[in-house]
Structure 1
Amino acid sequence: MDLILWRHAQAELHPDPDGGLPGDKADMARRLTSRGEKQAARMGAWLDRQLPSGAVILCSPAVRAEQTAQALNRKIRINATLAPDGSPRQLLEAAQWPTGKQTVVLVGHQPALGRVVASLLGLPESECSIKKGALWWLRCREREGSSQTLVVTVQTPELL
């Protein structure tokens, strides 16, 4: 199974000068900046060329995540567990990792996406951060009766 974790591209700042709370109404309404739109378009074009036709795209209900996912020009499914306050366990369950049969793209937020990477690679939770607009492509495979997580690629919009 392949799992792609795609962090939303650069978005407007929260209108609350104190930053508000992740997942509050104002946070969920934040839109991509013009730079974020370019990041999403660049990554979306690259990813669309790499993905199999049956890939499932699951997206946070936050506007900035939806705008990022729409750059793929594929059908997306909004999934509330990918909201900014989602847990790594919830994200992996939504993706049906590691037993799912299809490639799954999760479009979401930090710190949850970074925590998923950390848990799958055996890193301390705080040591993995995903840059805005970037993705991690992971693969689960069986070798000699043991399940392994492979890093297929890590991409940032600036490197494409």
Structure 2
Amino acid sequence: MDLLLWRHAEAVDGTPDHTRELTERGQKQARRVAAWLQEHRPKRLAILCSPTVRTRQTAAAFSDEFEVVNALGPDGNVAGLLSATGWPDSSGAVLVVGHQPALGRMAALLLSGSEADWTIKKGSLWWFTNRVRDGETQTVLRAVISPDFV
């Protein structure tokens, strides 16, 4: 299984939180990462998105075909991410467009074996895969893409 974690791009400050839109810079960030993802996308990619405006705008820079999942909202957690994505047992690939701190905690769990307060930069994408080698399940970090470098 491939699991891609994409933090929403830069958004305007303010309230209510769920209606915050991307800034002009955020729109550019989303387009840059979306262009990279278009070139490298895994096959059979399902896209799951938080219900906030900024995450839906980020996802829309890549595709109009995504599923909004309430459990991926700003108050989401690693358990919700695991449940929504089916990691590590699902087949194919899942792209999650979501928020801190859940995405960073998920990345920490996948790479270190325990949740920790890691930060995924706004607009950045982390791509994980899993495999079995010599009877041992391994998590592999395939790529980390920052909008500043694509």
Specify the TM-score bucket, using the shorter chain as the normaliser: over 0.9
Is 1:10 matched with 2:10?
yes
Identity between Structure 1 and Structure 2 (%)? 47
Amino acid at match of 2:125: L
**Deviations 1:92-117 (Å, cap 9, x if unpaired)?**
11111001101100000000000000
The alignment yields a C-alpha RMSD, in angstroms, of 1.3
Q: 1:110 aligns with which of 87, 100, 119?
A: 100
Is 1:139 matched with 2:99?
no
Contact 2:43 2:93 in 1 (8 A): no
Is 1:42 matched with 2:42?
no
Is 1:62 matched with 2:58?
no
Is 1:91 matched with 2:81?
yes
Post-superposition shift, 1:128? 1.4
**Shift in CA distance, 74/143, structure 1 to aligned 2, threshold 3 Å:** farther
SS of structure 2 residue aligned to 1:148? strand
**Shift in CA distance, 148/84, structure 1 to aligned 2, threshold 3 Å:** same
1:120 maps to 110
**Matches of 2:143 and 2:42 in 1, distance apart?**
16
Runs of 4 or more, structure 1, over 6 Å off, are none
Moved more, 88-97 or 106-115: 88-97
1:22 maps to none
**Matches of 1:116 and 1:105 in 2, distance apart?**
13
**Shift in CA distance, 141/124, structure 1 to aligned 2, threshold 3 Å:** closer
Unaligned stretches of 5+ in structure 1? 16-25
Contact 2:14 2:20 in 1 (8 A): yes
Post-superposition shift, 1:52? 3.0
